[in-house]
Amino acid sequence: MKATTNPEDTISLEERFQLATYKKMPVVVERGEGVWIYASNGDRYLDLYGGHAVAGTGHCHPQVVKAIREQTEKILFYSNLVYSEARARAAEKLVSIAPAKLSKAFFCNSGTEANENAMRMARMATSRENVISFSGGFHGRTADAISATFLGKYREIGKPNVPGHLQAEFGDIDSVRALVNESVAAIMLEPIQSMAGVKMSDPSFYRALRELCDERGIVLIYDEVQTGVGRTGDWFFAGSDAGDGVVPDIITMAKALGSGIPVGACLVTEEIALHIKENDLGTTFGGGMIAMSAVTATLEAIENDRMLENVQAVEPYLRNRLKEVEQVVSVRGRGFLLGLEFVGKAKSIHEALLEQKIITGTSSDSKVLRLLPPLCLNTEEVDLFVKNLMRVLG
């Protein structure tokens, strides 16, 4: 059967030929622009989910599209065995926006891979094996990362798990202290636990983790796959006021980093970098030219369009407007990583909003609706969301 533009045919082809591992929305996406996506039946949707937090710069940001297009006309790919201007510029740019002590980049292709490499580097740097991570954290689906994921059924899916993973309670420093001994290489956390329902801790928790790691020679890893690249209104949660200015030894990121081109990265301190030698880490596609041109263009677009400032201005506006919605019990998170807690189930609200052509996300907390919109969302679009939210809540 030939490819077709008929939406029903597209749905039935995917259903027939793709493994049924995703619960899909009944939307056949055709194109995107800024915070909007357009379906092939002509419908337009306000995208407050950003394709899983990926569309940080918005869909098809012209500067990102132009950079990728120009790169495709030069060379699509060559591995890390040669130097490349695209890679050099991306690494320089990424390091320039990170907290000063994170001065070296390693490029890979996804969030889970960034976390695998971060844990590997921590083990190499400390000559220890164990990793402490937290209840409610999500770190990816490859073997080591899923073994560090103490959320729902994920570890079960990943069995047999990689040994040496220990679970502490998010926000409870005593639970971490109780697990620390001479075999702990790393403490890894999502500084804001997104999938768990957008849970943040008190700033003192991040500070206490930093002090504990310093005392005991443990590597502190922030998984910023969701919080990174501007989502919280800062470039990273690392170094921000929300985290008491704490800077970890490694940050991992992916999702919004390439505006939709798959790319992940670890940023590490000079001290960690000293332990990593030739051939210790590697991946064929990491640092490829298309991905690298997307990274540089993404970071430059966020700067040029003053998107961090936009997030900082629109977040309080959105929070204020949500005060008018009685059924919203609390608003968690920071910047454009927000969890709206309702009295009842968020799933039915998500579905009702979808009927109003607004895409939101759910979470593993059944009462929490997640918003992860592009960083260019404006106050008019917020008004449209709030109006429709009120409508679906009656």
Ligand X SMILES: Cc1ncc(COP(=O)(O)O)c(C=O)c1O
Task: Indicate whether 258 belongs to the interface with ligand X (CB under 6 A).
Answer: no
Pick the closer one to ligand X by CB: 59 or 139: 139
Pick the closer one to ligand X by CB: 217 or 282: 282
Indicate the SS3 state at residue 72. helix
Task: Indicate whether 110 belongs to the interface with ligand X (CB under 6 A).
Answer: yes
The closest alpha carbon to 233, from 136, 348, 311, belongs to: 311
Pick the closer one to ligand X by CB: 114 or 307: 114
- Give min distance, CB of 109 to ligand X, in A: 8
Pick the closer one to ligand X by CB: 369 or 389: 369
Distance CA 184, CA 122 (A): 10
Task: Indicate whether 370 belongs to the interface with ligand X (CB under 6 A).
Answer: no
Q: Which of 212, 213, 253, 254 binds ligand X (CB under 6 A)?
A: 254
Pick the closer one to ligand X by CB: 164 or 191: 191
Q: Which of 57, 71, 84, 112 binds ligand X (CB under 6 A)?
A: 112
Helical ranges in the chain per DSSP H? 7-17, 50-53, 62-72, 85-97, 111-126, 143-147, 154-157, 173-177, 203-216, 270-273, 289-304, 307-322, 346-355, 379-393
Residues near 33 by beta carbon (within 8 Å), at least 6 away in sequence: 58, 59, 60
One character per residue 163-192, x = contact with ligand X (rule: CB under 6 A): ---------------------------x--
Question: Can you tell me which residue has the tokens 């796959």?
Answer: 225
One character per residue 193-212, x = contact with ligand X (rule: CB under 6 A): -x------------------
- Give min distance, CB of 61 to ligand X, in A: 20
- Give min distance, CB of 380 to ligand X, in A: 29
Task: Indicate whether 138 belongs to the interface with ligand X (CB under 6 A).
Answer: yes
The rounded Cα 158 to chain-centroid distance in angstroms is 21
Pick the closer one to ligand X by CB: 108 or 318: 108
Q: 199 near 193, Cβ under 8 Å?
A: yes
Q: Which of 50, 56, 136, 140 binds ligand X (CB under 6 A)?
A: 140
Pick the closer one to ligand X by CB: 242 or 386: 242
In this chain, which stretch among 41-49, 69-77, 107-115, 150-158 interacts with ligand X, using CB under 6 A?
A: 107-115
Residue nearest ligand X, Cβ-based? 111
Q: Which of residues 208-247 bind ligand X (CB under 6 A)?
A: 223, 225-226
Pick the closer one to ligand X by CB: 138 or 328: 138
In this chain, which stretch among 5-13, 32-40, 105-113, 180-188 interacts with ligand X, using CB under 6 A?
A: 105-113
The closest alpha carbon to 269, from 113, 110, 106, belongs to: 106
Q: 367 near 341, Cβ under 8 Å?
A: yes
Q: 192 near 232, Cβ under 8 Å?
A: yes
Give, in order, the Cα–Cα distances in Å from 279 to each of 89, 108, 222, 275: 23, 14, 24, 12
Task: Indicate whether 58 belongs to the interface with ligand X (CB under 6 A).
Answer: no
In the numeric block, which tokens belong to residue 364? 């593993």
Q: 309 near 341, Cβ under 8 Å?
A: no
Distance CA 267, CA 247 (A): 11
Q: How many residues bind ligand X (CB under 6 A)?
A: 13
Give, in order, the Cα–Cα distances in Å from 239 to each of 97, 152, 188, 191, 245: 11, 30, 16, 11, 4
Q: Which of residues 266-305 bind ligand X (CB under 6 A)?
A: none
The rounded Cα 113 to chain-centroid distance in angstroms is 13
Point out which residues bind ligand X (CB under 6 A): 110-112, 115, 138-140, 190, 194, 223, 225-226, 254
